[in-house]
Chain A
Amino acid sequence: MIEIEISKPLGGMRLALSLQIEEGSFVALTGPSGSGKTTLLRILAGLEGARGRISVDGRAWLDGKSSLAPQKRGIGFIFQEYALFENMSVEENLLFIEKDSALASHLLEMTGMAQFKDRLPSTLSGGQKQRVALCRALMKRPGILLMDEPLSALDPAMRQRLQGDILRLHREFGTTTIMVSHDPSEIYRLAERVILLHHGSVVADGSPKEILMKSSGSQKFSFEGELLDLVRVDAVYVAVVAIGQQLVEVVVAKEEAKRLQIGKRVQIATKAFAPMIFQ
């Protein structure tokens, strides 16, 4: 059990949180940028100071002024920027953390990185680097695994594959995993609890279904996208909207088109009575 009761001034606002996290759970931290997600993770890791208390399984990590050094917390941490040791090969990156070559081979095998074990990080792709970082973070068999937007720099296919790796390793090692993520599908797939932060405080806390499905029960599709263009076709307009990686065209009436502005975020919604699903 992780118990957190902290506060810290943060660029004009205040990060003030009181949280309890169950051992072995998978928690997603989400919220707009600048809401304090990364700072919370860094405070948990001991990379930044804060006022208050953090205790893990009854042991104080932070208590008033005294703070346990990051070296002694025994956590695994994954940065968005991979942060591999550039002077060491893939395998050396793992062994530097813990001289356990059986575990290193097992982790590299699990993530499909065994064939790259002698390569230097600079020769790997983003997805490969993050898989190495994941392996490295588990070399100390940590009780807690913290991930700061680990997949946000990767393409969708690579994301999916790494989501699978993360989930499998989370289960195998029984870690308490806390992940910062902006991607609802990723959160839905991995996490059993979502904490939504805004301006440094928790504004929602619950299961992914409760938090992520804003229009729950209304049987409605709702997508947010960017309006790229408005093209006049006879009496109507066609709006071109980018939703994620996909472009869609939507017919809009003339009066509606007048209220829209190119480049703005728009919401597209439709009733979902009889949708077709393909695989």
Chain B
Amino acid sequence: MRLAAQLIDLQKHYHLGEHTVMALRGVSADFPEGDYVAIMGSSGSGKSTLLNILGALDRPTLGNYILAGYDVGSMSDDELSEIRNRRIGFIFQSYNLIAQNTVLENIQVPMLYRRDARRISAADEHRCLDLAEKVGLGERLDHRPFQLSGGQQQRVAIARALVNDPEIILADEPTGNLDSATEKDIMNLLTALNNEGRTIIIVTHETSVARRAKRQIVMKDGLIERDGMLLTEDGK
């Protein structure tokens, strides 16, 4: 099976004054294409650091992060930007939409930063409309984020994450600000995407969310404590 992403003995050190904090102390994991993984752990376990590296927002101190065949650890800032743009779709806890843009413009933002095709063609426009339809926002393309509910804003973010057809989708507590009914809707949407073959990595500390994934990774003290099918949907 092809790997979407691979972590090889990843370490991340932070220098705070005189002492060095070892946020990650040797993390290795494979993420095959079409995988659906939940990363869990208490705060301080290193899961945020891992998320930043997985999202190509940060580089590991030691070890390798291979994404779609590229070694992200040794890339320049511009190359990291390109990797984020083409290979990764972000979904954040607080949605992170651009306030002054409409729904449609928010979905288009990653298209503006493509290296090869910076102009939004008619086909691109069409794709955005399809995605908006897919996440259930076909009616609200001209709305601004403040006119939408939390669940709707997260749907915009999901459409935006998909727009450049990324290798993996990284979701950071995607339902953290939502009520349980909306949480269910959003998780159903993510499950549907995974069923289409998309690789999804969710960082969460809610078991109700982690349960929806095919596989769970539990972090502790900068290391992977457990990895595998630890929780199942029928509630083991």
Partners in one complex: no
On B, residues with C-beta under 8 Å from A are none
On A, residues with C-beta under 8 Å from B are none
